[in-house]
Amino acid sequence: MATLRLHERVLKLQPSATLAMAAKAKALKDQGVQVVSLSAGEPDFATPKSIVDAAREALTTDVGHYSPVRGADALVKSICHKFKRDQKLHYEPNQVLATVGAKPAVAMAIESIAGPGDEVIVFAPYWVSYPEQIRLVGAKPVVVEAGASHGYLPTSAALRAAITPRTKAVIINSPNNPSGAVYPESLLRELMDVVKNTQIWVISDEIYEHLVFDDAKHVSPASFSEDAYSRTLVISGASKGYAMTGWRIGFAGGPKELIDAMVKLQGQRDTCLPGITQAASSLSRASR
C-alpha cells in the first residue's frame, strides 16, 4: 500500500482546543456527569422567535439557490445598516461581506494580508484560533501579554515594542475572548495611534459587541479617524448577540481592497451563505 504524504502546514496545525473541550464536555454530559462547559461561546438563551419565524417563512420562498458571494442584496443592506447603527461606520455595499460565521472572516483577512515570513500581533489571552490561522498562511504570531495584573488589557508601549518591519497586522478583540475584558475607548485610541501612518492593518474582532454589562461600552476603533477607518477591518456577526452560533452568519466591513480579496477567497471556497441563513439575518429580523 502506498504511503502518501500530507502537506507540512496541515500536519503542524493544532486542532481547535475550544471544540475539543466542547466535545469532551458533551461526552461527559451524555454519561450523566454534571458539567459546566466554558469552552465554545454559546449564549444561554435560544435564537429569538422572530428570527426562527423568518426562517420558516423563507422556506416557502425561493431560498434554495445560490446567491451572490458577498450576500443577497437584502442581507448586504442589513449589514451596512448594522455597522452604521452599532459601530457608527458608513460602508458602501462593496465594502461589506457576509461570511459563514466570523471565524472564516478572520482567516480570510489574515490570508489576504500576511504570508510566509510576515508577522501578526495578537494580545494574550487570545482566542485559540488566531495563532493557528496565522501559522497556516506561513506567518508568525507575535504574542503581546495582557495578563491579569493589567486587567487583561494591553498597553500601547507593549504594542509598539512588538512591531517590526515584518509586522503586517494587529488583531484587536474587544470584548475579549476569553477574558471578557472590554477595552476602554482611551486604550483603543492609544493602540490606533501606535499604528497610525504605518502599513499595518488592524483586524478588529467585535463578535461579542452586544454582550457587555454594567458600565462597559463597546466602541469600534475603526470609527476614530480617517486613518483608522482606512486600515481597519471590522468583524462581527449574529452568533453571540442573537444566539445564532449554529446558523453560521458573520459580517465583515472595511476597506474595499481588502473586502474584494476576501470575496475572491470566499467565492473559491464557500460560494455563499445558505439562503435560509441569509433570510433569517435580514434587517427586519436579526439585524434590528
Cell for 68?
451572490
For the cut 90, the answer to whether the pLDDT of residue 201 exceeds it is yes
CB 86 within 8 A of CB 222: no
pLDDT tens for residues 32-63? 888 877 777 777 788 889 899 888 888 888 78
Residue ranges matching CATH 3.40.640.10 in the chain? 49-280
Burial 125-154 (b: 16+ CB within 10 A, else e): bbbbbbbbbbbbbebbbbebebeeeeebbb
Find, among 144, 148, 155, the residue nearest to 122 by Cα.
144
Mean pLDDT of 19-43: 79
Q: Are strands 119-124 and 140-145 parallel, antiparallel or unpaired?
A: parallel
Q: Where are the beta strands (DSSP E) in 135-239?
A: 140-145, 167-173, 201-205, 232-237
d(CA 110, CA 24): 29
pLDDT tens for residues 239-287? 998 888 889 999 999 999 999 999 999 999 999 998 988 988 874 344 4
Which CATH number is 49-280 given?
3.40.640.10
d(CA 77, CA 14): 37
